[in-house]
Amino acid sequence: MTTTTTPTVPFNRLLLTGAAGGLGKVLRERLRPYAHVLRLSDIADMAPAADASEEVQPCDLSDKQAVHHLVEGVDAILHFGGVSVERSFEEVLGANISGIFHIYEAARRHGVKRVIFASSNHVIGFYKQTETIDAHSPRRPDSYYGLSKSYGEDMASFYFDRYGIETVSIRIGSSFPEPQNRRMMHTWLSFDDLTQLLERALYTPNVGHTVVYGMSDNLDTWWDNRYAAHLGFTPKDNSEVFRAQVETQPPVAADDPAKVYQGGAFCAAGPFGD
């Protein structure tokens, strides 16, 4: 696996929301070179600050005043917080929809000019796996979760047009140590490639609102990143090294959403509350 180049000028203070989540725990270590102080936030329990280079500040994203306090004094925001799987609309509403509004309002009030938004492939999940799409393709959310990420991208666009806050929205595919199934052979994003993408998102000037698909250099992909070429993101890893072990899994039925749609099982989750 490869590693990214550490920038020569770290930020004074970066905020990472969702620090207790799966990716948050990975990024807690990987983001240290990019800031003198890394402020870590989540509603769930987090490990105490390791040293003076970390600040641990619990926060409920649905609490507007708490978010405003959280954002005070930071130079840029990596927003990975919120519900990360499909749930009922009511469960998604607070953290993902109200939460993204609170993040951008706090950024506006505190003069933060760069946000990295952890969007998702589930913004376009109802495209067929036989299709190739880019950032200009109309969104086709596959779930309430996907709808919340689509709303977040609109929020990013609005806050750039209205207030000049720049955002890179990363439509993360499947970021795990290795792909877990055949679908993820297309969508896999290694931790090293994610780290490089975050570096480019933080340091590339004049990004406006850029949408980029978060994927490694996989052999077969459904996504075209031509409209994010200015980021200079050049993934190094490839899911093919896991091909043999993934192919030992039982075949998926032809009509299974995991084989039909880019969003996989999310396209069939719910309804909730019936």
Residues known to be catalytic = 145
8 A C-beta contact, residue 38 and residue 32: yes
Query: For the chain, how far is it from start to end, CA to CA, in angstroms?
Result: 46
Distance CA 133, CA 261 (A): 13
Distance CA 183, CA 189 (A): 12
| Strand 35-41 with 54-56, pairing | parallel
8 A C-beta contact, residue 68 and residue 106: yes
